[in-house]
Structure 1
């Protein structure tokens, strides 16, 4: 699989060297490549999930507090399509409020439903505490995608070039900015395949200079300290203790350039504690 990923990155490598980046640095950069499962509304891969559809949850699971976005059939993901320790089967349900971007609160959640678990259909509007038939929020909710998702495995590279705001570049990569610029151009040349959800890989955020997981981790710590999230359990602010669970770039009219990141601590993922997923929303209006 690693050889296949490197082969897919060959056009990026050629372009990066053409831009004057030392070949040795380019080679070390692609050494950071991670596999990710890209689920799209187009393509010819196997069906591995869907945006929207009926909300099916076990009887003991409370109604989610956020709009229902997508479900992923973990058993349908290709082997080694991510480097995350995901369960081999069952469904991962993702929830988020993609139009809330003005504060540091948690804006979503993830629910894991093990294979064979009895489920019941729930009201997809139960997250809202009042009638959502009218208004801009109701329109935004109704405009969320509803479609099957087909999966393919892709390599992913960092799309940020600062480890934190106090640094000038990623350690060991003096051309990190140029490398992310080339990677952004390479990704933009990929055929557009409609609505898309990514499992694993690196976080992706428009106009990002610092690893978005830094922001996600710091927000999670802040919300935990204020008693709004985390259930009183320890929360790490170290970015290396977190991984990207999923990324979604919803095609919204407002705010444009929206990115939703679901992050989870490595230890929580290993323990299947998907209730400990923290969600951030970024918008570039």
Structure 2
């Protein structure tokens, strides 16, 4: 079953990540045409994340567990070794329970790119009406394809954003590699990356309203 939270089951040779456990996705249960992502046909994806990061360090991880792998239950609070109560309260507000998938439309929600000088952003090249189209989509999305708590594939989305969150995520990772807090090498070209999933964490997680996690 796909679900938020639940027991943390990891392969015996895999260490518990430094980020809290968010969700588990059974790839064999996904309809064949549910996503255009090149995902394995079976096994599980385990998603881990903080609701936000201390820039420039990314704050999430995904572990693929192949079908048939021997797993053992781990301590779901191992990421909080000092038992900090504030962090425990945050984790206790993470969503719990089954996921139910729905294949739906996903459209871009950004209309600008970042530039290295004032005004620091500019209209999306080749798309002079991008801002108007994004505004129109924002006004009609709830009637056509309402945003869900967790999204697999599609375009990255955030509560308030005019830049592509994927571009921001790629910049964060490349800066983290330069800072030595993330293993490289990685491509700095967003065209080499794809969104795996979005989690609108701020809808549930106490104290992190408006936060969205991108994997």
TM-score (norm. length: structure 2): 0.90
- State the shift of 1:102 in Å: 4.2
Distance 1:49 1:187 in 2: 25
Q: Identify unmatched segments of 5+ residues in structure 1.
A: 1-47, 263-285
Q: Identify unmatched segments of 5+ residues in structure 2.
A: none
Distance 2:158 2:196 in 1: 14
Q: Extract structure 1 runs of 4+ deviating beyond 6 A.
A: none
Say if 2:155 and 2:195, in contact at 8 Å, map to a contact too: yes
> Match for residue 116 of structure 1?
68
**Are 1:103 and 2:55 counterparts?**
yes
> Match for residue 97 of structure 2?
147
> Match for residue 63 of structure 1?
16
Distance 1:246 1:191 in 2: 16
- State the shift of 1:236 in Å: 0.9
**Are 1:247 and 2:198 counterparts?**
yes
Say if 2:58 and 2:173, in contact at 8 Å, map to a contact too: yes
Distance 1:127 1:107 in 2: 12
Say if 2:107 and 2:155, in contact at 8 Å, map to a contact too: yes
- State the shift of 1:167 in Å: 5.6
Say if 1:160 and 1:180, in contact at 8 Å, map to a contact too: yes
Q: How many residues align?
A: 209
Distance 2:58 2:123 in 1: 29
2:36 to 83, 87, 91: 83
- State the shift of 1:172 in Å: 2.7
The aligned runs of 1:95-244 (5 Å cut-off) are: 95-98=48-51, 100-132=52-84, 134=85, 136-165=86-115, 168-189=122-143, 196-230=149-183, 233-244=184-195
Distance 1:160 1:191 in 2: 17
- State the shift of 1:140 in Å: 1.1
* Aligned-residue RMSD, C-alpha: 1.9
TM-score (norm. length: structure 1): 0.69
Say if 2:80 and 2:87, in contact at 8 Å, map to a contact too: no
